[in-house]
Amino acid sequence: MIDLIEARKNQVYVNRKDSFNIECDKKSVAGSVSQRACVFCGSRVVLYPIADALHLIHGPIGCAAYTWDIRGALSSGPELHRMSFCTDLRENDVIYGGEKKLYNALISLIEKYNPKAAFIYSTCIVGLIGDDINAVCRKVSAEKNIPVIPVHSEGFKGTKKDGYRAACEALFTLTGFDNESEVPKHSINILGDFNLAGESWIIKNYYKEMGIDVVSCLTGDGRIDEIKKAHRASLNVVQCSGSMTFLAKLMKEKYGIPFIRVSYFGIEDLSEALYEVARFFKEKELIDKAAELVGRELSVIYPEITKFKSRLEGKKAAIYVGGSFKAFSLVKALRHLGMKTEVVGSQTGSKDDYDYLKEICDEGTIIVDDTNPLELSHFIEERGVDLLIGGVKERPIAYKLGIAFCDHNHERKIPLAGFEGMVNFCREVYSSVLSPVWKYSPAYRKRKGGTV
């Protein structure tokens, strides 16, 4: 193994060979080329898909510029979320405070756009200069008669996970308002799906077919009015558990809504998700419908997957994603393609997550928390990996190494959730791994026994 920085030694684990327990939930070591982001980023990605809300960033321009329309969270209606609003704090504001600027910005934006609610994101600098954004929000809310919600997402206050938490707290304040509109008997909320490339729509259709209504999707294709009645659903179905379990817990405490954790990615996890939701309502009809749906879809996608598998069998993969739930599903999905996961890691996995990962991975798989490019590229070369699955910062590393890549993050352009998503995933892996361009890669030629 390469020289790991001393403080990182316990965050890298070779499955069933190392004896220690992997360390996680740590701040990145100062000075590492971490792939992680901050609290603000966590809050921003969770709340961003709510399309009829105003999202105002109270801070310097960078925080707004880097989060302007970067995530393909689709909306079926309004697209206010794709605009970038920022108080653009300048030196004077840092000295004299930015409350007045925030107030004026909010008033003029609400008058102009009539949003259903407004989220005000607090950034590092606001945490330092001590603007009382709660007070400003309360004032504007009273004047304009819409929810104006402060999101306490100062970047330095922890990791991206703490940002999820701040977002959950903000969302929670929106629940419990609408007790009048009708909510059907078999109803759920989808938590933790962000409608990237339209994935929420696929999942919603499954539930619809099963006879289950989705009261609110948090936050994919999200609407404020739906969130206001979310507390009246019978069950919270949590995907991407890292981001939304906290909200599910809050809602359980206050409204008594039970929750389950699922993944809509990969055949087993997706089928199990649908069955589990059906079982919850304890009605045979729902379970039968789920079985029918799963059976039908599988009969469609299996032959396709088998075709891909015949060409991918024996190839090796590395996975480095944000949330660990995604990693679980990916390990399983790759197995369907006959591919072996050599390296797997996440930015935000917890102890339990890594224990589970150890269970489902083969012996010898390298499991890593909060890795960096040097480590990652080293493991990829060492294990002769053919495919890297990751996000924006991992993509060019894979390509420089001359191996295939699949984006499983914000920048995915095709839905990877659901049964059709599984086929899309297989096709993407297939077309990347078998692309003719790799024959120009020295790594490829070496693997094929040629000279570099």
Partner 1 sequence: MLLRHTTDKVAERSALTINPAKTCQPVGAMYAALGINKCLPHSHGSQGCCAYHRSSLTRHFKDPIMATTSSFTEGASVFGGQANILEAITNIFALYDPEIIAVHTTCLSETIGDDLNQIIKKAYQEGKIPKGKKVFYASTPSFKGSHVTGYSNMTTGMVQYFSENTGKPLKQINLIPSFIEPSDMAEIKRITTEMGVKFVMFPDTSGVVNGPMDGKFHMYPKGGTTIEQIKSAGDSSFTLALGRVGAMSAAKLLDTKCKVPCEILDLPIGVRGTDNFINNLRKVAGVHVPDSLMMERGQLVDVMSDMSQYTYNKTAALVGDPDILVSTAEFLVDLGIKILYVVSGTPAGPKFERRIKEIAGEGVIVKTGANADMFYFHQLIKGNKPDLIFGNTYAKYIARDEDIPLIRIGFPIYDRVGHQYMPVMGYKGGLRLLEKILTAIMDRQDRDAPEEKYELVM
Residue 229's nearest CA partner among 242, 243, 218, 240 is 218
- Name residues contacting partner 1, limited to 130-159 (CB under 8 A): 155-159
> Which CB, 79 or 292, lies closer to partner 1?
79
The residue to which tokens 């004026």 are assigned: 104
- Please report which residue ranges of 157-266 form alpha helices under DSSP H: 160-172, 199-210, 224-228, 241-255
Q: What is the nearest approach in angstroms of partner 1 to the Cβ of residue 139?
A: 15
* Site membership for partner 1, residue 258 (CB under 8 A): no
Candidates 9-17, 76-84, 286-294, 350-358: pick the segment binding partner 1 (CB under 8 A).
76-84
Residue among 1, 14, 128, 300 that touches partner 1 (CB under 8 A): 128
Neighbouring C-beta atoms of residue 21, cutoff 10 Å: 12
Tell me how far apart the alpha carbons of residues 334 and 290 are, in angstroms, rounded to a whole number: 24
Q: What is the nearest approach in angstroms of partner 1 to the Cβ of residue 45?
A: 11
Q: Strand pairing of 340-346 and 316-321? A: parallel
- 311: amino acid identity, one letter: R
Q: What is the nearest approach in angstroms of partner 1 to the Cβ of residue 451?
A: 12
> Which CB, 163 or 418, lies closer to partner 1?
163
Sequence-distant (≥ 6) Cβ neighbours of residue 6 within 8 angstroms: none
Contact in structure between 229 and 178 (CB atoms under 8 Å): yes
Candidates 1-9, 144-152, 223-231, 252-260: pick the segment binding partner 1 (CB under 8 A).
1-9
Candidates 105-113, 166-174, 195-203, 312-320: pick the segment binding partner 1 (CB under 8 A).
105-113
> Which CB, 86 or 330, lies closer to partner 1?
86
> Which CB, 260 or 434, lies closer to partner 1?
434
Q: What is the nearest approach in angstroms of partner 1 to the Cβ of residue 246?
A: 19
Q: What is the nearest approach in angstroms of partner 1 to the Cβ of residue 158?
A: 7
Residue 443's nearest CA partner among 410, 398, 406 is 398
- Name residues contacting partner 1, limited to 284-303 (CB under 8 A): none
* Site membership for partner 1, residue 93 (CB under 8 A): yes
Contact in structure between 262 and 276 (CB atoms under 8 Å): yes
Tell me how far apart the alpha carbons of residues 345 and 178 are, in angstroms, rounded to a whole number: 41
* Site membership for partner 1, residue 85 (CB under 8 A): yes
Candidates 91-99, 200-208, 211-219, 229-237: pick the segment binding partner 1 (CB under 8 A).
91-99
Tell me how far apart the alpha carbons of residues 116 and 44 are, in angstroms, rounded to a whole number: 18
Tell me how far apart the alpha carbons of residues 122 and 151 are, in angstroms, rounded to a whole number: 6
> Which CB, 44 or 231, lies closer to partner 1?
44
- Name residues contacting partner 1, limited to 357-416 (CB under 8 A): 373-374, 377, 392-393, 395-397, 399-402
Sequence-distant (≥ 6) Cβ neighbours of residue 248 within 8 angstroms: 191, 236, 238, 257, 259
Tell me how far apart the alpha carbons of residues 330 and 416 are, in angstroms, rounded to a whole number: 11
* Site membership for partner 1, residue 100 (CB under 8 A): yes
Residue among 22, 174, 423, 443 that touches partner 1 (CB under 8 A): 443
Binding mask 28-67 for partner 1 (x = CB under 8 A): xxxxxxxxxxxxxx-----------------xxxxxxxxx
- Name residues contacting partner 1, limited to 161-180 (CB under 8 A): none
Residue 132's nearest CA partner among 98, 160, 106, 105 is 98
> Which CB, 90 or 252, lies closer to partner 1?
90
* Site membership for partner 1, residue 94 (CB under 8 A): yes
Residue among 104, 179, 205, 431 that touches partner 1 (CB under 8 A): 104
Residue among 49, 72, 127, 220 that touches partner 1 (CB under 8 A): 127
How buried is residue 31: exposed, middle or buried, by Cβ count under 10 Å (0-12/13-18/19+)? exposed
